[in-house]
Structure 1
Amino acid sequence: MASFKPTKIPVVQQLGEKVTEDTRYWKSFKTTVQVKEFGAITKIDFSPLPPHNYAVTASTRVQVYGPHSQEPQRSFTRFKSTAYGGTFRGDGQLLVTGSEEGLIRLFDVNGRVSLRQYNGHNKAVRVTSFLSDGFHIVSGSDDLTCRVWDVSTAQELFRFSDHTDYIRALAPSTRNPDLFITGSYDHTVRVYDVRQEKCVMSMDHGQPVESVLVYPSDGLIVSTAVALPAVAPPDCY
């Protein structure tokens, strides 16, 4: 009988993980922290100034969190129905929101009560923002209009009614305080110029537009949309 020869498994020396700038960067992150809200989150917006607190709009409230805290620093709850689109001003001191009831509210991030209330829309205001000068607010609504408001007087300055379906996306120009972009379920993206009091450009996305973004250079616009399912042709007999 032949003698048994065991298999020799070579032992390979294990090398330590190669340390690079990339691995050091990812290891600097801490474990994930989960913060539970009371309803569907419609928007998260970061303050442009340090310490870069962020506002979470969900259900009937807007809550402001610090970067290292799981508890809200401020909670704005004066909404009778769903709140939408909480957005910081460029100086991080003011916050504007829309609502299901068609009202726009302005808050001081260091306070608790509403500073201003803007009345005029007759359906839900889904998107709100400040123009880049910080003195004007722009809003988009399910009543098919987008409007420009004066921050201090709460007066409606301009109303645009070019869209033929719900307005669900809004982005102000970062360089020009007179320009802003809207996106709608009518499949179009429109550029408005307050100086000319009209839409100066319209683009067909081909699907219901959910979000728009303006590049910091103002040279490019990005839009995203809901892809509608293809409709099968009817059967022929």
Structure 2
Amino acid sequence: MSCALEDPSLERNFKGHRDSVSSLDFSSNTKLMATGSLDSCVMVWNMKPHARSYRFVGHKDGVLCVHFSPSGQLLASASRDRTVRLWLPTVRGESSVFKAHTGTVRSVNFCGDGQTLVTASDDKTVKVWTVHRQKFLFSFNRHINWVRCAKFSPDGRLIVSASDDRTVKIWDKNSRECVHSFCEHSGYVNYADFHPSGTCIAAASTDNTVKVWDIRTHKLLQHYQVHSGAVNSLSFHPAGNHLITASTDSTLKILDLLEGRLLYTLHGHQGPVSCVSFSRTGDHFASGGSDEQVLVWKTNFSAAGYADVPKRPQTADAPAQVTPQVRLCEVHIKEEIIHHQKAEREEV
């Protein structure tokens, strides 16, 4: 590497949730961060200093996942109340709601084109929906236990899912088939995601390990045993050369994927760390845990040595460049949400 690495530094500490923080996500322009909690609330935090935060109330039980749409105009949340809500992340926090599953919804994720959503549930299914009108399209039914996570690939063609049946499955969105099943974890698989290049996946498990596979050859590329507790979440740096992990052992670990080694161990949470995510630019990352805290860290090391990193098809901040088609879709959804809110108020 051409320049020395600097240690990540803790920059801010957000307090507002009244129970464990279960999930977090940055908007594409990194101006907002959303968090979900077992306190049944979604919070949206402005990253500018001294700006106020917003608490969105609507779910009837714990919120387990939040995810911004590619343009940042919408925010999806998944809950134990079996519903998914789509919020306008503004002061008023208006939302539309749909019953997504017959069990707890553990995961919700927007496709990169902004047109579809994928959800995962304790009812053992993964479902795909249109964003516009939240119309059910199809489901994947091959898991035999709770599905904790489902994510689209960067190009939107594939979906990865992680389950308590100890498998990680890759699905083809077009053929609606299971392309491959990775069965090498000895514990529940809490989380899985695609590398920004789309060529490999990483998975986090209660067996305390993180595994990285090539999805073309189905070969195990890397296997990390760096935590002393279950690994609950992970996030790839947008440049693709680092992976950050969050664990029940109360630490965050930063892994160097080029060297295949542990770079940093970060302490900041009192108790299990349940979620972690890099911002879309990679300048920051945030973590949340059972201590009800959200910590925002400055990455610092991310400026070093990108020359030999596999580049993603788009630039790191590409999600902010949204097509007119996506914008139009989101305008329609905004209108639907506002109409839905009016109808709800009239019923009351």
Looking at structure 2, the residues matched to 112 and 55 of structure 1 have their Cα atoms a distance apart, in angstroms, of 11
* Percent of matched pairs sharing the same residue: 25
Q: Runs of 5+ in structure 2 lacking a partner?
A: 1-47, 251-270, 272-348
What are the residue-to-residue correspondences of 1:78-227 with 2, within 5 Å? Answer: 78-174=100-196, 176-206=197-227, 207-227=229-249
Residue 78 of structure 2 corresponds to residue 57 of structure 1: yes
Looking at structure 1, the residues matched to 53 and 177 of structure 2 have their Cα atoms a distance apart, in angstroms, of 46
Classify the secondary structure of the residue corresponding to 2:113.
coil
TM-score (norm 1): 0.80
8 Å CA contact 2:122, 2:146 repeated in 1: yes
Partner residue of 1:77?
Answer: 99
Looking at structure 1, the residues matched to 52 and 100 of structure 2 have their Cα atoms a distance apart, in angstroms, of 34
Q: CA RMSD in A?
A: 1.7
Partner residue of 1:45?
Answer: 67
Classify the secondary structure of the residue corresponding to 1:43.
strand
Deviation >6 Å, runs of 4+: none
Q: Which amino acid aligns with 1:149?
A: W
Looking at structure 2, the residues matched to 99 and 204 of structure 1 have their Cα atoms a distance apart, in angstroms, of 28
Looking at structure 2, the residues matched to 49 and 92 of structure 1 have their Cα atoms a distance apart, in angstroms, of 8
Aligned length: 201
Looking at structure 2, the residues matched to 124 and 134 of structure 1 have their Cα atoms a distance apart, in angstroms, of 23
C-alpha spacing 1:120/1:217, structure 2 compared with 1 (3 Å): same
Larger radius of gyration: 1
Shift of 1:119: 1.2
Shift of 1:66: 1.0
Deviations 1:43-78 (A, max 9, x none): 111112242x11010120111101224221x32303
Classify the secondary structure of the residue corresponding to 1:111.
helix
The structure where helix makes up a greater share of residues is: 2
Q: Runs of 5+ in structure 1 lacking a partner?
A: 1-24, 230-237
8 Å CA contact 2:187, 2:205 repeated in 1: yes
Looking at structure 2, the residues matched to 177 and 212 of structure 1 have their Cα atoms a distance apart, in angstroms, of 16
Shift of 1:180: 1.2
Looking at structure 2, the residues matched to 58 and 31 of structure 1 have their Cα atoms a distance apart, in angstroms, of 21
TM-score (norm 2): 0.55
Q: Which has the higher contact order (CA 8 A, sep 6+)?
A: 2
8 Å CA contact 1:131, 1:180 repeated in 2: no
Q: Which amino acid aligns with 1:98?
A: A
Shift of 1:113: 2.7
C-alpha spacing 1:216/1:122, structure 2 compared with 1 (3 Å): same
Shift of 1:31: 5.8
Looking at structure 1, the residues matched to 226 and 78 of structure 2 have their Cα atoms a distance apart, in angstroms, of 27
8 Å CA contact 1:76, 1:113 repeated in 2: no
